[in-house]
Chain A
Amino acid sequence: MSVRTLTIDGVDVAIAADQTILQAARSAGIPIPTLCHLDGVSEVAACRLCLVEITGMQKLVPACVTRVAEGMEVQTQTPKLQDYRRMVVELLFSEGNHVCAICVANGNCDLQDAAIEVGMDHTRFPYQFPDRPVDISHPQFGMDHNRCILCTRCVRVCDEIEGAHVWDVAQRGANCYIVSGMNQPWGAVSACTSCGKCVDACPTGAIFRKGETTGEKERDRAKLNFLVTAREKKEWTR
């Protein structure tokens, strides 16, 4: 296994050549905010929170999909990056209907965490107040599109880990929404195995267990990683 050495925010890091900047930063304990990234599923580089600067490159690059290279100098917290990250989170809050006070994920929400991490306490953009539905047709789970940030984690866990591909994205631009089955109510999708991985993967309170009330959503993220690495690690129980 070949190794690459690089610096991230001035810290020397040595890591396997096939790893990404995000993995290198995490191994060195350097925080880079993410939202669409989820351990165990493929990367889409869509949320743009993990953009970093690399000396000698004009463009900002997403840390989650950029492989490390020898001698690379990475900056993760320049004022420009901090500014852009705050704007990304502001755009997300203004785009959907995110009302923490009544949300099942309050206090246990990746979007909230991201807002705190990038220092966003209010949004400068006008709220769009989109008219979005709530789907509670599934016997165990519910989907509140108002809280969805279109990170597509649910789409990927369902397709790549469970193999059911219940979810996908419909429409385009601001009209995008997560669609279940052939644009059916979730409860009517026979492909759904009710495994609940999408609930564990969802960063916000968009996909939740019925019966949970404000601030009660809990996730078992470790389960996803356990499932993905079980064969490789030969660990069949946990």
Chain B
Amino acid sequence: MDVSELQSMAKQERDRQKPHRILCCTAAGCLSSGAAKVKARLEEEVNIAGLTQAAEVCSVGCLRFCGHGPLVAVVPDGLLYEQVTPENALSIITALQGKATEAILTDPHHPFLTHQMPIVLENSGKINPERIEEYIAVGGYQSLHQALLEMTPADVVTEISRSGLRGRGGGGYPTGLKWATVAKMPTGQKYVVCNADEGDPGAFMDRSVLESDPHRVLEGMAIAGYAIGAHHGFIYVRAEYPLAIQHLQTAIHQAKHYGLLGSQIFDSPFDFKIDIRIGAGAFVCGEETALIHSIEGGRGTPRPRPPYPAEAGLWQCPTLINNVETFANIVPIIRQGADWYASIGTEKSKGTKVFALTGKVNHAGLIEVPMGTTVRQIVEVMGGGVPDGGTVKSVQTGGPSGGCIPAAELDTPVDYESLLKLGTMMGSGGMIVMDDQTNMVQIAQFYMDFCRSESCGKCIPCRAGTVQLHQLLSKFVNREATLADLEHLEALCHMVQNTSLCGLGISAPNPVLSTLRYFRQEYLDLIDQGQKSLHQPRVELGR
């Protein structure tokens, strides 16, 4: 394939598309609330109404307003319907002909939608993720063409470095620097790995990207392969994401079919192939060295670093590992330039970040906002605050590795440094809102339970320490703890944090330390209640 063929394919697809497109979200969230039936019914009604020339029903990826699914959008009319049922289908179709609709229309000026800045999600909810033609119609694979034929590998690395993009998996390591490190390793076998083992409770950003726009990730990986001199890429995706896996398989198959992956892409000397590896359900495999062992066919356990994967990764070869969202940012940076990207966000955190907004919030779903947006704006303006008049007590970010942002700090801008200063972290993008009914000690206990069962068991502090931490937290929740236990808890947290082998153990105490920092009184209250009720029957705690 060459660029003229790519453009003619794009034109053909645009010409093929009907004047009205009824876009049904069939990503995992809406699918689980009945989107498949809605879509079937819509297709039926279009046929019955004889509108097959004027309108078409398409499957698309995430339309963001996940808490209000199933969602249906109509373009170019600019309508978004929420909580659609098969019974609403007819009235959505008749509305095309100008009649009033019975289905629930979402306010197009809703702050949840208007405050978003879609870069990673620019195609999400607009194209059918299972048709490469639609991706090409919106400019897909042109960035790869541009990189391969108009730029040297060094140019690509420079462009990514200048954009200021940082790893979206949580750590925030400068992506350009990582690429440059792998690129500078001696020529030979190198690998590109996409980490799609998203496992934080409540996080679904990467799943949405893979389900909604898989080609974007493939294109980003191919550009990375060109930049660092790799010809083979792996996507390590968790088995719990069957739809994402299916869409990736389809996408790889289609890209190969059109010569956009494989040998001599765009008639250049560059070859690149991508294979999928499916995780077997271990959270620790999101840690890069454990992920490498898992791809190699071994047990998913981490090893000490250095050597870092950039030097000795898959089968001891230099390996570039980036997260899904990081790869999804590559295409727009190549297309629109590093200066454009660097103009978005804050001084040290550039671009946008996708968050999965969940918990006690009126509007749950997927959001993409520029770095530097305040937590308050995300939770209270976009998310619409806590339902039933409750108040926000805390916002949890970073999953089991992160911590809590207390209500008093809601005006903190979302960027890597500001969140670290609060004792939490950006993480991969889970954002869980907790209301004033939430018991923070129980939250810490929940996360410790998660870490305990996800510990690989290799190093002692994580294997045995998380068990003891969980038991100590349970003592608090059961009101059996004493002040000595509090001291013990803190000492053990610091020990596990400072001595564990990998990131899982190092960060496992974070939810405890964070809740101790902002909600210490709750721990003390539980001790106090326990002392007072020593001779009274036990009462169930909280909700």
Residues of A within 8 A of B (CB): 44-48, 51, 59-60, 62, 65, 80, 83-84, 87-88, 91-92, 94-95, 124-126, 128, 149-150, 168-169, 171-176
Does any Cβ of A come within 8 Å of B455's Cβ?
yes
B457-492 interface with A by 8 A CB criterion: 457-461, 463-468, 471, 488, 491-492
The answer to whether A91 and B455 touch (CB under 8 A), given A45-B501, A46-B501, A128-B467, is no
Q: In the complex, which of the residues A48, A171, A174 contacts B499, with contact meaning CB atoms closer than 8 Å?
A: A48
Q: In the complex, which of the residues A44, A59, A94, A171 contacts B464, with contact meaning CB atoms closer than 8 Å?
A: A94
B467 near A46: Cβ-Cβ < 8 Å = no
The answer to whether A92 and B464 touch (CB under 8 A), given A48-B501, A173-B454, is yes
A174 near B304: Cβ-Cβ < 8 Å = no
In the complex, chain B residues whose CB is within 8 Å of the CB of A172: 282, 284, 454-457
Kindly state the separation between the CA atoms of A158 and B343 in the bound complex, as whole angstroms. Answer: 57
Q: In the complex, which of the residues A45, A51, A91, A128 contacts B465, with contact meaning CB atoms closer than 8 Å?
A: A91
The answer to whether A84 and B455 touch (CB under 8 A), given A48-B461, A91-B464, A95-B464, is no
In the assembled complex, how far is the CB of residue A134 from the closest CB belonging to chain B, in whole angstroms? 20
In the complex, chain A residues whose CB is within 8 Å of the CB of B499: 48, 51, 60, 84, 88
Kindly state the separation between the CA atoms of A172 and B460 in the bound complex, as whole angstroms. Answer: 12
A91 near B468: Cβ-Cβ < 8 Å = yes
> Which residue of the partner chain B has the closest CB to A60?
B498
In the complex, the number of residue pairs spanning A and B with C-beta atoms less than 8 Å apart equals 88
Kindly state the separation between the CA atoms of A59 and B503 in the bound complex, as whole angstroms. Answer: 12
Does any Cβ of A come within 8 Å of B407's Cβ?
no
Mark each residue of chain B from 57 to 87: 1 if its CB lies under 8 Å from any CB of chain A, else 0: 0000000000000000000000000000000
Which 4 pairs from chain A and chain B are nearest by CB? A176-B457, A91-B464, A173-B455, A45-B304
Kindly state the separation between the CA atoms of A174 and B468 in the bound complex, as whole angstroms. Answer: 11
Kindly state the separation between the CA atoms of A115 and B303 in the bound complex, as whole angstroms. Answer: 26
In the assembled complex, how far is the CB of residue A130 from the closest CB belonging to chain B, in whole angstroms? 10
B7-36 interface with A by 8 A CB criterion: none
Q: In the complex, which of the residues B454, B456, B460, B488 contacts A92, with contact meaning CB atoms closer than 8 Å?
A: B460
Q: List 9 A-B contacts (CB under 8 A).
A: A45-B303, A47-B459, A48-B460, A48-B500, A60-B499, A65-B304, A150-B457, A172-B457, A174-B467
A174 near B464: Cβ-Cβ < 8 Å = yes
> Which residue of the partner chain A has the closest CB to B471?
A126
In the complex, chain A residues whose CB is within 8 Å of the CB of B264: none
B495 near A84: Cβ-Cβ < 8 Å = yes
B456 near A173: Cβ-Cβ < 8 Å = yes
B430-457 interface with A by 8 A CB criterion: 452-457
> Which residue of the partner chain B has the closest CB to A51?
B499
